[in-house]
Structures are given as structure tokens and as C-alpha cells.
Structure 1
């Protein structure tokens, strides 16, 4: 079996698009500053880690961690609305990922509580891109993928 990365990324992106909170949703980490005045979301792979406790004798289960980053201009007006708008969007996304626990049957489950390492997590910060400041909230979205690689003696 192989990671259905396109299907999983599409499922994660579709939740962001369905929320109606984003002007743009990208399936990659942007190399350029978002061009919209509203919220932008981007989804990309962070890492893939085998999980010994969940693997069998002949196949490997792994955790695929995706980053889902929400961007807003750090100079948006009014400044007091930036975080509340972003937190509301992230709240919708986390609720969707918990509610669609298997991402439409593409993964075993979203590892909400980090039973296999990284839990569902949201971190805030600022980044500079193309000389422009952005407020970001980044969701670490761990998805457990069963029977990913075959172990052969």
C-alpha cells in the first residue's frame, strides 16, 4: 500500500474550502505571500513516522503529519479582529477534522490526543513573506495510516 497523499490532502483542503472562511486554500506551502486581503489556508506534509505499537508483524503503520496553516495580514484593520477571525476559522477546521475522524475512510483516524506521538495541535506566530508580516495559526494534523509498508523477511 502507499500513502494516498493526494486524496488525504484533498480531504483536508475540502474541509477548509467548505468552511467558507477562506478566500484561498492551497495544497502546498506557499513560497510567496498570499495575495488576498482575507484569510488564506495552506496544507502540506510535515513528516511521516512509523508507529511500532500500531504496526503488525508484516506491515508498518505510520503517522502522516500535515500542516494546515492559516494566514492573515498582520496589518489588517482592525487589529483586534485578526486573532478572533483566525481562531474561529481554526476552530471550524479542528471540529471538522475531529468530526471526520477517518477523513472519509482514507486514514485509520486523526490522532487527536497523540496516542502515537504528535496530538492535534494549533500554534500561533508571525512570519515574514515577501517582506510582508503575516499572523499565522498552524494546525499539526496527525493522521494514522494503517498497513502502509510491507515488512518482508
Structure 2
């Protein structure tokens, strides 16, 4: 299955909010533009990224099978167990006792897990022992060399 996952824990829904400054406006990814000179407010990343704290946990991804959708080795995945998985969702699933992260799909009328890297073949789910552990709602990865999340 080629993507190994490390469970990092659940969201502490009783932890005090940690607010980080949110700069007003947007940043252009093309030509530079003068930035707005004021803050829009404070941003609590838990409020922003996690809809169901009691059903959410974090995993660390390991492997290359999901690079095509921007999930890289070492990325931090936010997983919500309360989201009903549908085709097209990135899911955490146990298949025959092995945890993996793949896109839930159908080929013909049968369910499959599909990697986002053409080097990996689709995994048929029909006739296998499967259990969905949740839907990946967000992915966090570092863009700074040598910096890990």
C-alpha cells in the first residue's frame, strides 16, 4: 500500500485558543504588490481547520503514493471521523489490517482506493476486510527546507 501513517493524537477540544495574527487582504503569487498595512484580526487555526474537534485526529504521512494531490512524506494530515466518505474523498482506511491513505473511488460499479501517483495500482476493496478511519480534511506541510511540522 506504500503509505505508512503515524497517529499523532486527537484534538484537545478544551485547550485554550491560540490566536495568530491574520494580515488583511491576500498575497499575490505573481508580481509583488504592496501589502496592506494592518491586521484583519486574530486567527485560531483549530477553529479554522477543524469542524468536529471530538471526531478529529492527526496523522503523519509516510510514502509517495499521494504526491499527485500534494500529500508528501512527513506531512501532517487532519482527519475527521464524522465525515461520511464519498468517492473523490481522500480517506484513511484499514485494508486487510493495514492502514493507508488513498482517494476513495469507483471503477465500474466497484469501490477502489486509488493512489495519486501513477506508479501505484488501484486497490480493489470488494471482498476485502475494510474499515474507514476517517476523511482527510486538511494537509499541512512545510515549505521551508529543514523545517518540519
Tell me if both proteins adopt one fold, taking TM over 0.5 as the criterion: no
Largest Rg, 1 or 2: 2
User: Normalization by structure 1: what TM-score?
Assistant: 0.26
RCO greater where, 1 or 2, for CA within 8 Å and sep 6 or more? 1
- Normalized per residue, the structure richer in helix is 1
